[in-house]
Every structure is written in C-alpha cells, then in structure tokens.
Structure 1
Amino acid sequence: MTMALPLAPRGSAVATIVALLEARTGQQLDAGRTWRIDSALQPMLRERGLATLDELVARMSADTERGLGDAVVDALLNQETSFFRDAGVLELVAGAAGDMMRETPDRKVRLWSAACSTGQEPLSLAMLFHEHHLATGQAIPEIRATDISARALRRARDARYTQFEVQRGLPIRRLMTWFDQRGELWEAKAELRYRILYSQQNLIAEPPMAGRFDIILCRNLLMYLSPPMRRRVLDRIACSLRPGGVLVLGAGETVIGHCDALVPSERYRGLYRPALR
C-alpha cells in the first residue's frame, strides 16, 4: 500500500517515523517506547550505508527508494508471538469450533486468525483441530490467517522455526509429532501448512476478508491502537462474524467502551459475540 509520508509535528526524524507508523497501521508509539525505533532500524541503516535516522527520513521523503516507507513500518511492527500462547484460550476456541460443527453439520466452520505474525497461532490451532479430528473424526475448520507484515507472512508460509521458537510453548510431544527437523530449523508438517491460507491484510485500511467467519482471533493488537482505530477495527470484525460467531481478543483487551456491535458471550467466557439487533 502506498501512502504519502506524513509530516512530523515537531520536525524530528523520530516524530516523522512515529507518524508514518500510525498513519499506515493505526499503531501508536508513545514517547516512552521510541527507543524501539533506533534499535529496530539500525540494520536497515547499515544495509543502506546511512549514518542517521535523519538520512533515512530524507531518503523516504525524496522517494529515491521505492517501498522504503513500507520497509521501515515493517521493521517497527511488534511480531511477538509463540506457540500455544494462552493455551487455555486456544482450547476454548477449539471447543467452540467443535460445538459449531456439531450444531451446523451441513456447512464448513470458518476461522480467521487476524494479525497472525509469523504463524504460531494458526499453526497451534491447526494442531488442536487435527488432534481432535484424530480422536473424534470431527471435520477440521477452514483456517484463514492474515497480517500486515509481508516479512512475517513469508516466515509464516515457510513454517520453519528456530529451536528457541519451538521451545516457547510447544510441548516436546507435539514438536516430534507435527514438525520435521531441517538442519537447525524445525518445519511444520505439510498437513498443517496446507490447512492455513495466508494473505496480507491491513485491518484499518483495507476491506474486510471475503465472506463471514464463525471464529475470529485478533489478539494483542488493539492495545497498540488509538480509541478511534480500535472502534474501526472492531466494527469491521463485527461485520465479518456470522450470527452465533465469536471474537477472541488478548487477555488485556475488551470491546466494552469501544464497540456497540459486539458484546460479551454468555456461552464462552471471555469471548465476544455480535450484538442482537
């Protein structure tokens, strides 16, 4: 996505980059966290032979390098994730999917992992669904996964992870069952990789995903957005949920005070459903 470089309110390179990040992603970087800019962009400066952030901003403003603004934003995105993060929540999601498949056996249950980062969340769900399928014969839901970062999506599609990454939340039994070792990396087996359809998606700027979903996970994104952007994202997600569907947010996130189209689910504690109209 191409967008004009926003002007910085106080004229500094840091302010320009903060404004660029918010304009393109809706994510805010407060004054106490601007140290991330320097650390995240140092590799980019070295690769391009630039000495300072001011030189980087000047090159972006001059449009001398196509896609440089996108690369800067991508480098600043927080891609923190792990396998089976908040495992109890994922078990709840798998249980909800099972309920939906039993109650609507005539159609495919659809799940969307939004802001999926490097793929650990959708892969964790794919493992759970496969295990439930092997135990019960129940069908496996359709899994879509999106992220704004092209770099993160490349890694998600490759589904290759370091020893450190697989040790974060992935029990050894599941590692040995669902991954093959490729040199120093671990690659998810084909039956997991092919279950997930990845695509690039900017939740604040692009139309919602095609079709409607039974379960949408959008965890630990809202905390980085301004209140107006939270409302925009939640309203779009609400439009993408089927009646009876549920939204899963991060542990510190809520729809309350941000969106009238979603309300707490009475059936699944901690999840949200479309409001009755």
Structure 2
Amino acid sequence: MMGATASESAYRVLMGVLESRTGQTLSPNRIWRIEMSLKPVMQRHGIADLDALVAALVTSNSRQLLDDTVDAMLNNETYFYREYSVFDEIAATALEQIREINKLRRRLTVWHCGVSTGQEAYSLAMLIAEQGAKWAGWQVDIVGTDVSYHAISRARVGLYSQFEIQRGLPVQRMVRWFDQTDGGWLAKADLRRRVDFSVQNMLVDRPPLASSADLIFCRNLLLYFSAPMRQKAFARLRAMAAPQSFLVLGAGETVLGQTDQFVASPRLRGLYEPADQQVRRAAA
C-alpha cells in the first residue's frame, strides 16, 4: 500500500522523473522511502505533500526544484576504502600492471563513475600518493563524476563528519590527509587537488577525461539500472576504457549475463577487463 499522503500516480511520476534524469529505477524497498526522502525538499520549497510536489514539477520551470527532487531520491551511500580487499588488489597488482603497460607515456587516468560524496576517489588518491616514487614524473588524473550536484559539491569541498571520517579511514591516514575543523574533517589542499569532480550523467555526458581510462570505478551504481540502461552503461564504460584497462564493480555486481563488453580478469580477482583486450592477448 502506498503512503497515505500520496497517490499512486504521484509515485509513478516521481519514479519516471528519476529514470529519465539518471537512468536509475527504484527498487520496492526504496519506493517506500520516497516520501521520507523528499520531506526536506518539500519543506524547503513550501510544498505540502507529494501530489503537490508532482504538480509543481509539472507546472513550474524551477530547475532547482527538479534538481533537489532528483537528488533526494538518489542513494549516495559510500565510505573510505570501501572493501579493503579491493583496494589492496588494486595497489598490489592492478596499478603495477598499468605502470608496466604505460611506462613509456607515463600517464595514469582513473575515472570514478558514480563517485557520490568522494570518499572512494579520495581513498585511491591517498593510495597512489603513498606509493610515492613509483609515480614520480607521471601524469596522474583522477576524475570523479556523479549525477548528483549535491554529492559533487560535497566531494569538492572534502568536508566529512566524525562518523564519515571514521568509517573505513585508518587513524594514520585521517591525521595525514585531513584537518579537524569546527565543521568536521576537511581534506587537505594537497589531497583535494588530486581529484577533479564534476556533475555528469554517465549515460548521456562524456566524462572530462584527457585520455582513455586505465582504471574505472563504477561500484554499486549499475544495480539501480534497468537491463536496457545497464547495457547502455556498459557500452559507455567500454568506450571510455583504455585498450588494456581494469573495471571495478561493487561486490554484488557482475558482468556475467549482463554484457559482452567486459569479462572477469583472469589475473585480478574481482576486477574486469575489456573483452576484446583478452582476444588480443590470446592472439599474441
């Protein structure tokens, strides 16, 4: 049964708005949270209920109301070093292989798609910075994109609450890379300059990459796409990937039965490679 304050048509419209703007669909357990998620938006814009919100979206030309509504329905769950084993594998193996592949041009390009509020992109930036001399003289570009303007705004500022900073971030790194302020823990300028954040819809917009991505993070985003949207997303990821590159998905995600653009890496557990990359390797 739908919430007492909203009609079924209001829910359908809101779900349609989310999918048309982001490609994402709402799972049943998220549908029931729409009204709660949108209450702050309705209060801020002086709107009484979801039916009135839908009416305002239809009749108003307010871009801010539309952006706020879509933002509130997104799931921006993330944290530092999410799944340590993944970052360990990247540090120990994936980056080493990329260094060997790119040793002549000395360039590393990372695209973090669905970066949310930035913790995982900053985690990778810290990891690479701490490898020190290995990347001396290299051009290292880390680009984080997300459809949520609110999440990207937070990522750019790099300010995190006590709960957020303690969630996955070891004390040594917290002290080295962040300053405690009255508003929370602020990423130091040296860390912030290592990541470029921008608002992008990965299904529509071309990410601002200076070269093809050697490493792509797209974690726990494709879960929210319908099958056709997921196919489109994988095609975009492949289009932006370097010929020899790695794709990192979330723990509950896979390419099996989803796409023929990527296959599981035979060398790195839990990572994926472009399918045609493996064909070239086999032919060689």
| TM-score exceeds 0.5 | yes
Identity %: 44
CA distance in 2 between counterparts of 1:137 and 1:25 reads 35
Partner of 1:42: 39
Shift of residue 36, structure 1, vs aligned partner: 1.6
Mapped partners of 1:66, 1:104: distance in 2: 43
Q: Structure 1: where are the runs of 5+ without partners?
A: 1-9
1:197 and 2:199 equivalent? no
1:274 equivalent to 2:274? Answer yes
Aligned to 2:113: 114
Structure 2: how far apart are the matches of 1:265 and 1:131? 26
Measured after TM superposition, the shift of residue 105 of structure 1 is 1.7
Q: 2:68 aligns with which of 49, 67, 71?
A: 71
Cα distance in 1, alignment partners of residues 198 and 91 from structure 2: 22
- 8 Å CA contact 2:117–2:155 kept in 1: the answer is yes
Structure 1 counterpart of 2:80, from 83, 95, 119 = 83
CA 192–62 in structure 1, closer or farther in 2 if over 3 Å, else same: same
Partner residue, 1:224: 224
Match of 2:255 in 1: 255
**Residues 1:157 and 2:143 are matched in the alignment:** no
Alignment match, 2:235 = 235
Q: Distance in 2 between matches of 1:215 and 1:115?
A: 14
State the 1:169 CA deviation.
0.6
Q: State whether structure 2 residue 244 is matched by structure 1 residue 244.
A: yes
TM superposition shift of 1:11: 6.0
**In 1, are the aligned partners of 2:112 and 2:218 still within 8 Å (CA)?**
yes
Is contact 2:45-2:65 (8 Å) kept? no
Aligned twin of 1:101: 99
Contact 2:143 2:208 in 1 (8 A): no
SS in 2 for 1:78: coil
RMSD of equivalent CA atoms:
1.7
Q: Give the length in aligned residue pairs.
A: 267
- Paired residue secondary structure (2:156): helix
CA contact (8 A) 1:163 1:184 kept: no
1:140 Cα deviation after fit:
7.0
Q: CA deviation at 1:102?
A: 3.4
Q: Secondary structure at the match of 2:237?
A: helix
Tell me what 2:10 maps to: 13
TM-score by length of 1: 0.91
Relative to the length of structure 2, the TM-score reads 0.89
Instruction: Read off the aligned partner of 1:101 and give its amino acid letter.
Output: R
